[in-house]
Structure 1
Amino acid sequence: MPWIILGCLAFFIVRMMLGMSLMTWAGTWIWFAMTWWVLTGEATYKFVKSWIPTPGDDWIDAKTLFVPATDPGTFERQKRERLKPVTMTTNAGRKRLMPFQNLTHLHSIAQVEIGGYSFACLILHDKRKDEWSAQIPFVFDGIHPQLYREEVEAAIAALHRGASELPNGELTFTLSAQSETRRRKHQLRHLAKTSQSEAVSVLLLNEQQRVNEIAHDGSRQVWTQTIWGSWTATRATRRETDAIGEALTWLQKHYQKWVRNFMGTQQTHFNDFYLNLAKELYETGFLRWRNLLETKSELGVRPMDAEELWESLWYRFNTRSAPELPYCVRITETQGGLEQNVPVAGQQDLMTVLLRGDRGSTSCPKHQSQRGYIYANGRVGKILVVEQPPELWRNVRSQLSWIWERMSMSYVRDTECVVQIASRERWSTQDELEKMNRQSHHERKHAAMDGTGREVHADLQSEYAQDALRKMLEGRQPIYVALVFIIWRDSEEAVDEAAAQFANTFGAAKAVSENDIAWRVWAESLPLNNFPLLKKFALFSERRLTLDSETVAGFLPLTRPKDLDASGVEFVTSRGGHPVCVDILDSQYGRVLITGKTGSGKSVLGWRFIEEALANNVPVVGLDLSSGGNSTFGTAVRLLGEERASYIDILQERLNLLEPPDLRDLPPEQQVQRLKRWKDIVRSAIVALAMGDVDDAMLRSRVDSICLRLLDVFFRDAVIANRYNEAFDGGWKSDAWQEMPTLRDLLTFCSPEKLQLESVGEADEAAINQILSQVGAKLRDPNIGDAIAHPSTVAPDTLISFYALSGLTNEQNAFIMAIVAQMACLKNALAHPQSLFVGDELSVLLGKRGFANLVGELLATGRKEGVSVLMLAQDLDAIVDCTASAQILANLSTVITGLTTYAATGTYEKALGYPSEVISRNATDNYKANPAELYTHWLVERNKRFWHTRFYAAPMMLAALANSEAEQAARQRVMAKFEPTTLGYLQGLRQFSREYVRALRGSISLDDIGRELTHSGF
């Protein structure tokens, strides 16, 4: 094609203008052709685009108004108007500014509800062509990087099936990794504002600063994926896209307009315009793309709503919070048919709202007459275009994650990937390949005739053409693929360096910087117009790649870590830095196990889960087996203050096993349900106390039956019920509280007469004697009898209560007190609509049947009462070996594993079915904590999905939890410099955190902290 044009140009100049001979014309033609070939080679677009000027000296917001299509007069006038350049005089001289709206076609956002579906889309109108189109967005959750082999093969097969049936139109995949913190900071600020604990609020605000730090250095990247399906009104009415089809469509369009004018139905046509548009868009656009993506390609997609779509557009041009959607066209299907709600004319259109900026500063993007840079949202962008695909992939797994592996490298951040695919005509592709095959045949023939030997290039070209033809004959579909990356940084130097570094990651593939028309390619990547990506200025050669339907899957940005919960404790994936949250307060996933050897940081991570509950004003109760009570949790609880937190030494306090939860604030239905649940727990506890280590199934069964009857008789007794009512009416520490029934009172009912047994057999007598002897012996024990035989001295209304089980040298007594403490925890938990139970280092106690059964039952049924569970352990062995292991493991929703040993990895493989290649990383040195960067490594598992992550602790939280002797002494030295008030404590903690972080990073020693301190206000 270019040779013919050059020949015509030469003929016009030589023959028609200069009147020279045909030989001169032929020589000029050859000279033009050779010059063109030298300048452009096979990629003529490289030469053409280098001559394309930038649109003026810069862009400007044209500030246009919205006019609905239902107002034909005003709409037609606006359609004929052309946005003209604006000339402005600045300090740098006169500048010619082009309206940015010339590169956008946005008419409105539409919310369509038809056929039981609800979806939003961008309605586009190209004034120059008078063409209506739309972009339909689908949110995609991504394909998780860690897949089993069967899942990978199924995903690839589904993608091949979908690509082979790609309809007309463009399908655009976007994958974005951005250092944005809006959502997380909003969550933390909200929790800090609503939390009842000032200390927790300050810790959350300090975590917000930590989130900013790791986002700024690129360690935290929010990954989002969107799939845009294009729809064009004219394309939907024809099957072919050739010149004849377009001409017929044009004639049909104008004929229909003439008929409407002749029949006088033109106004009705405009009144129903959006209704007809939405119906056609739904039938030939939305359903088509949804069927392709969800049914054929088996991708988990969902349509956006209007507000979500508006926010996605807003943050492309703005950093401040998105305002409410100014207007949108709403089409709703009712029993009477379709109804429309059309915005009024005269208000600023959506594009103007997006670009108007804030405080006198526009949000309009700029190019500043630079051909290779884009300036938007306060950043500088550079574009990379992939112009040559890789030769092959090692396997289907590497094909599926080809783009993810490059974008998730540690030095890649603030990068967008845009891939647009469109079906290509088979006949043109086949014709091109046949020409290539014939050309290579002639080259080989000439090489043989000239005696130059084998022509390697021709052989390779022939093999490529024959292989591609074979694939087409097998039914594979040729597909156009346009693949670009947009890299954002704060300066031209930084973005140039990042682009060069990123381009080197593609290996055999070729990615080049766009240094001529970056402004145009970036505009084409936006969903605000219907420009095909990389098609402009490619008149004589195709810039887009041509791939077959089985190869194209490797170029689709489909892989990224799946999200877990919307909020909760945040982890950051080790690869890609994507934040994932684990919400322990979620009723479905609120049963978490954290395991890790000493030094893995599990206590710090466990406290962050506790902090999450406290921030949501959810009470926390826990058991702590750390020696001497000198645990991380003990330190943290004491620092929260005595008013809202209590760390209870089990040997110094009294705990009433028969103290029921205060259910007066709950609805009557929940009161009945939870009281019954509490009685069941009391029965299990008494059975555990009575049986101890006795392994007699028949006796245990009979003891359980007797306990059931004993508790029923006991709680139905009028005197007992009256003592309970008076105790709760009087309140904690009242005289009536001291008369609350205890285990001593319960044993007085444990006789055949009080139990009203009609006949007493040997089994009944043995069970009654077992209860009286064993429970009575514990009440008389000098070590624990006083602690379990009297009304409770522990405040029942603290926000967090931890029971320390340290100091018990007798194993059986430790077991008894653990049962009592666990009962106190469950009692507090049942008294609230939602609560969190924490068990730390329960390995020894899980070896006891009664205790293990209580834990298993809590995990199995706790969510019905709103009880979330957090367990911490060194490894899985104690859980696997306990009697309730099956019940415990089956009801864990999330398992978080830190640094472990090679010997322990086998347990995870056997008990939890972890792949060895996944869990083996936890036993390497790479999984050790990084004190300099304040993060620890964790493997998060849920539903057999795995995330290798990092947990970045906030400095003030680390400072509050530091509990070694040297750390406590350093903290005390700093705290002594401040007033003994809540504000003084928080000021001191902030100052200590600064010094403590320096010590962790090796700048100073712990002994240097607080030696010479000049403090300032908070």
Structure 2
Amino acid sequence: MNLRGRNVGAYLLKHQRQYSLVFGFRSWGIHTQLQPGQAEPTLKRLEDGLKGFRPGDRLRIYWRSFADDKERQQSLETLIQTTATLESQFLLLAQQRATRDLTTEKQRQPKQLYLFATYPLGSGQEQSADHVEKLLAWVVAQYDTFKGLKEQNQQQSYVQLLTQGFTDGYLHWEQQLNARMGLQVTPMGTEELWQYLWTQFNSTSLPEVPQCLELSDADGDAKLSELIHDPLHATSRLIRGENGQPSHPKADRQWVLVKGKFVGAVVLESKPAGFTTPEHQLYYLWQALAQFPDCECVCELAAADRTMTRVTLQRLTKQSVTATFRANLLRDVDVASQMRMKQGVEAQERIYEGALPIWVSGLVLLHRDSPESLAEACQKLTNAFHQGDFIRETEIAWQLWLRSLPIVGDRLIDDGRRQMYLTNEAPGLMPVACPRTIDNRGIELITRDGQMPVYLDFVNQHRGMLVFGETRSGKSVLAAEIFVWAIANGMNVISLDYPKPDGTTTYTDLVKFFGDQGAYFDIGSESNNLFQIPDLKCLPDNQRQERLDDYKEFLVKALDTMVMGTETDNQLGKRVHTVLWQALSTFFETPQILARYDAAFEAGFGSPEWQQMPTLADFVETVANLDLEVESALLNEAVATILLELRGWLSSRVGKAISQPSTIRTDARLTVFALRNVGNNIEAAVLALSAQSMAFRRALEVSDSLLAIDESPILFKYNGIAQIIGQVCANGAKSGIRPLIIGQDPDTIAQSVAGSQILQNLNTRLVGAIQPNALPSYQRLFGYDPSLLRPNTEESFRISPGRLCSHWLLDADARLTPCAHYPSPELLGAVANNPKEQRARQRVLAQHPNKFAGYAAFAKAYVQALRSGQSLDTIAPTQPEFELIRPVSELTQPIPTNGHQPQPTTPRRSS
């Protein structure tokens, strides 16, 4: 239906002579970790939606959880095909295999929530009250047939019928589900509806919809057209099968065989005793279903006859009163009658207060590989609920499965087994609780409850990220996963790290793995030219000038810091700022300077022309020869201050590292800045500006960047670094720079000079394993309830050698999600950085001339050693070298013994 600017699909069903439309919706559901106090208003919205049910309305909710990685594999495959870096392709292929392993082990369970709303249309013909009217209607129909108007009238009747279904059916349900219930649903189109049915019976690719009616008002008037791609009926097409294999289900009393899986049914047979808290009611089904893989829960809600319900309650109450009275006459106590009387009175009170009766049918379908495993799973499921709430169906399981399909017009469960609830009770049996993913793509985490994959996309969404966790909590591996994902998506990664005493950093080994695509910046041996402008030759002239001006602004800020430090607001600071701007304008208007830039970029990195690229020394020369055409003591002092300070930088270790042509590859995708031998805050700030310049250059060259700060408790002690990072956090979105800050606790960041600027602008946080004494800090800085973070302090939250996963509390978009990170073995092997791990990796790599084969072999042995608890020295052990021992008689020189010459001996004869 293309009506009123909406593209809506629906199943058109016919049962006997009655038509009905079934509209499909997708929903993200209600998050399973709501903030304190949010559960009660959420239940109130669901109750308000149920009160809007009209007679004949019927809503089915389908909660599905199946181990399936098809979408993720396709996403990774697309990324592998588009990235040009072999190292990224290797790690993405490893991630594909790790994802497949998790899926095979049922540790990865994507979940979907569908809602199908039924609207009855009627017969499509005028109803005849008696035989005379039926006769007249037949005569009119024959007359229209004789005149050739029958088909036209039928089509017009269908147009009116479907238009009524859209206006009175779809629009009503859209308003109920979105506005009143707050479920944020999205209507399903024709292809999605057909795909939903196709995947119930088949695993092959989706064919075209066999038959489709299209109602459109594009020209102003509603017109109906029919598209037929296959003359075979849709249901026949569903079960026809492919490649000689049928796809029709096989029925049994206790199960039905569908797509090679045995499906059993567990039915809601009685009401739960009650709900203790709003959270208990909202998550009643979720807490049980989250434990079971490969299952689906179907709940059908239908409006009950309100008058009959009220009359029935009154009758039952009177019966209970009479039974109680008779018991009193006999001096007995009828406890059951008293309870029924009390419950009846309470139910009538709620009805008079506005509650309405709702028929509720609940069904859970479990999919297993064998009847034995199915029986075991069904028994576990019934035990997960209170006794008697859910019971396995052992006679008509096939019929319940058939009725669960949205194209079957029958009720889900017969009248005698349906349960009647009031609108304030029914939300407890609506399976709408489901972890909500943050984004549709990105790095993948798995929720701790339910094993649902959630994605964090910092490539297409601007996200500043904070990662906290104690030592050995998995921070480095998670950050490496973020690095790999950024590089594979065309971003550049720049990491600032404080090196170990041996000069290596957390990601030194990862840089080595990336080979030519990685660069390591050490101020003692490498340089990054601060005056290396971005290569903008591929951009239009107007855009080129605009981005060059942006880089000039950055240079002025960097030079201000180098000359004045933090004292930039006084009179001298303002004059220095003005002089620097004029000097830069002159510098970039000099033909010789521009010619050297063009030659350097044309010849490329490392060429003789590259070594002649303008640097800070050339800018100092420009300042020395600058003609300001104005004479003033303050202006002269400003020029003198600039020359003095910048010439001082040219002779310092840090200054030399930023004032010479770049020796690290400008096209490196991963660059690590090792901030060692930093003397003071100003030097630290300048090195941070050097890293920012690289990120900014690549961002201006139409490539976004990720700027990571590792060991933040150490680096943020330098005010200069904290101020620069604070500016990136506040304004990085404008230049395409995503900040990532990694540390052990938030206190050091909060206490830095830019603490509030950093914490308030990073909207995504991942908190790993922490110590109990850190809970007050997280409560004070982020407002976390200590009860939410208490699991982070438990032993189970730390890395498990058997599962090789780290645990995190993800806070993004005002939603908290406890989840786990499962890295691939190859990523673990590339990031492993303690001395024993490095030695073991070197031994394995030495045995393989192909780098990737070596890393794959090491990853396999490394993971096996971790899971079995073996020493890493057992991985590719070095064979000891033995010297051949020769007889003494063959030696030309005698062997000294304790400083004395050996005495000749006479060989003994054998007797």
- Give 1:709 deviation, angstroms: 2.8
Residue 1005 (structure 1) aligns with: 871
What are the equivalent positions in structure 2 for 1:531-610 lying under 5 Å apart? 531-535=410-414, 538=415, 542-586=416-460, 588-610=461-483
Distance in 2 separating the partners of 1:790 and 1:893: 37
Residue 182 (structure 1) aligns with: 70
Distance in 1 separating the partners of 2:539 and 2:511: 27
- Give 1:454 deviation, angstroms: 0.7
**Structure 1 pair 696–430 and aligned structure 2 pair: CA distance change class (3 A):** closer
- Give 1:315 deviation, angstroms: 1.6
Contact 1:381 1:495 in 2 (8 A): yes
SS at the partner of 2:577?
helix
Distance in 1 separating the partners of 2:80 and 2:422: 53
- Give 1:961 deviation, angstroms: 1.3
- Give 1:513 deviation, angstroms: 0.4
Which of 97, 120, 126 is the equivalent residue of 1:232? 120
Gaps of 5+ in 1: 1-111, 239-245, 1014-1018
Deviations 1:680-734 (A, max 9, x none): 2211111222233658655444433333333223222333223222322332223
Distance in 2 separating the partners of 1:323 and 1:948: 39
Which of 746, 750, 764 is the equivalent residue of 1:876? 746
**Structure 1 pair 685–1012 and aligned structure 2 pair: CA distance change class (3 A):** closer
Distance in 1 separating the partners of 2:128 and 2:176: 29
Residue 115 (structure 1) aligns with: 4
Residue 316 (structure 1) aligns with: 200
Deviations 1:21-52 (A, max 9, x none): xxxxxxxxxxxxxxxxxxxxxxxxxxxxxxxx
What is the aligned-residue identity percentage? 29
Contact 2:682 2:720 in 1 (8 A): no
**Structure 1 pair 597–767 and aligned structure 2 pair: CA distance change class (3 A):** farther
**Structure 1 pair 625–499 and aligned structure 2 pair: CA distance change class (3 A):** same
Which of 549, 555, 561 is the equivalent residue of 1:688? 561
Contact 1:418 1:484 in 2 (8 A): yes
Residue 788 (structure 2) aligns with: 918
Residue 263 (structure 2) aligns with: 381
Q: Verify: 1:475 aligned to 2:359, yes or no.
A: no
Residue 259 (structure 1) aligns with: 140
SS at the partner of 2:19?
strand
Residue 649 (structure 2) aligns with: 778
Residue 792 (structure 1) aligns with: 662
Distance in 2 separating the partners of 1:346 and 1:179: 32
Which of 344, 368, 379 is the equivalent residue of 1:465? 344
What are the equivalent positions in structure 2 for 1:844-883 lying under 5 Å apart? 844-883=714-753
What are the equivalent positions in structure 2 for 1:93-104 lying under 5 Å apart? none
Contact 1:622 1:825 in 2 (8 A): no
What are the equivalent positions in structure 2 for 1:438-837 lying under 5 Å apart? 438-451=318-331, 453-507=332-386, 510-535=389-414, 538=415, 542-586=416-460, 588-627=461-500, 628-642=502-516, 644-692=517-565, 694=567, 697-750=570-623, 754=626, 756=628, 758-762=630-634, 764-781=635-652, 783-808=653-678, 813-837=683-707
Residue 20 (structure 1) aligns with: none
Which of 187, 195, 207 is the equivalent residue of 2:83? 195
- Give 1:377 deviation, angstroms: 1.7
**Structure 1 pair 358–1012 and aligned structure 2 pair: CA distance change class (3 A):** farther
454-463 or 859-868: bigger deviation: 859-868
**Structure 1 pair 224–249 and aligned structure 2 pair: CA distance change class (3 A):** farther
Distance in 2 separating the partners of 1:117 and 1:785: 62
- State the Cα RMSD in Å: 2.6
Distance in 1 separating the partners of 2:300 and 2:598: 71
Distance in 1 separating the partners of 2:523 and 2:529: 12
- Give 1:170 deviation, angstroms: 0.8
- Give 1:901 deviation, angstroms: 2.8
Contact 1:815 1:845 in 2 (8 A): no
Contact 1:141 1:300 in 2 (8 A): yes
Contact 1:169 1:230 in 2 (8 A): yes
Distance in 1 separating the partners of 2:724 and 2:683: 17
Amino acid across the alignment from 2:143: F
- Give 1:561 deviation, angstroms: 1.1
- Give 1:918 deviation, angstroms: 2.2
- Give 1:450 deviation, angstroms: 4.2
Deviations 1:443-489 (A, max 9, x none): 334434445x1111111122122222222222211110001111111
Distance in 2 separating the partners of 1:484 and 1:456: 32
Amino acid across the alignment from 2:766: I
Deviations 1:568-624 (A, max 9, x none): 1000111111110111202x3332222222211111111111111222233333323
Amino acid across the alignment from 1:192: I
Contact 1:847 1:883 in 2 (8 A): no
Residue 244 (structure 2) aligns with: 360
**Structure 1 pair 813–426 and aligned structure 2 pair: CA distance change class (3 A):** closer
Residue 131 (structure 1) aligns with: 18
What are the equivalent positions in structure 2 for 1:125-164 lying under 5 Å apart? 125-126=14-15, 129-164=16-51
**Structure 1 pair 884–703 and aligned structure 2 pair: CA distance change class (3 A):** farther
- Give 1:519 deviation, angstroms: 1.0
Deviations 1:260-295 (A, max 9, x none): 433443211233455334312101210111121112
With the length of structure 1 as denominator, give the TM-score of the two structures. Answer: 0.81
**Structure 1 pair 254–135 and aligned structure 2 pair: CA distance change class (3 A):** farther
SS at the partner of 2:8?
strand
**Structure 1 pair 436–285 and aligned structure 2 pair: CA distance change class (3 A):** same
Residue 423 (structure 1) aligns with: 303
SS at the partner of 1:143?
coil
Deviations 1:944-965 (A, max 9, x none): 2111110011111111211111
- Give 1:195 deviation, angstroms: 2.2
- Give 1:252 deviation, angstroms: 8.4
Distance in 2 separating the partners of 1:690 and 1:249: 101
- Give 1:897 deviation, angstroms: 1.7
Contact 2:62 2:113 in 1 (8 A): yes
In the alignment of these two chains, the number of paired residues is 874
Contact 2:685 2:719 in 1 (8 A): no
**Structure 1 pair 512–200 and aligned structure 2 pair: CA distance change class (3 A):** same
Which of 777, 782, 806 is the equivalent residue of 1:936? 806
Which of 80, 102, 105 is the equivalent residue of 1:217? 105
Which of 862, 867, 875 is the equivalent residue of 1:996? 862
**Structure 1 pair 189–254 and aligned structure 2 pair: CA distance change class (3 A):** farther
Amino acid across the alignment from 1:583: D
Contact 2:8 2:187 in 1 (8 A): yes
**Structure 1 pair 251–431 and aligned structure 2 pair: CA distance change class (3 A):** farther
**Structure 1 pair 622–1012 and aligned structure 2 pair: CA distance change class (3 A):** closer
SS at the partner of 1:262?
helix
Distance in 1 separating the partners of 2:187 and 2:106: 30
Distance in 2 separating the partners of 1:380 and 1:212: 22
Deviations 1:496-516 (A, max 9, x none): 111111111212661100111
Distance in 2 separating the partners of 1:517 and 1:991: 52
Amino acid across the alignment from 2:21: A
Distance in 2 separating the partners of 1:689 and 1:683: 10
**Structure 1 pair 622–123 and aligned structure 2 pair: CA distance change class (3 A):** same
Amino acid across the alignment from 2:355: R
Residue 985 (structure 1) aligns with: 851
Residue 71 (structure 1) aligns with: none
Residue 975 (structure 1) aligns with: 845
**Structure 1 pair 989–426 and aligned structure 2 pair: CA distance change class (3 A):** same
Q: Verify: 1:958 aligned to 2:828, yes or no.
A: yes
SS at the partner of 2:515?
coil
Residue 17 (structure 1) aligns with: none
Which of 218, 229, 233 is the equivalent residue of 1:334? 218
Distance in 2 separating the partners of 1:604 and 1:255: 80
Residue 189 (structure 2) aligns with: 305
- Give 1:775 deviation, angstroms: 2.3
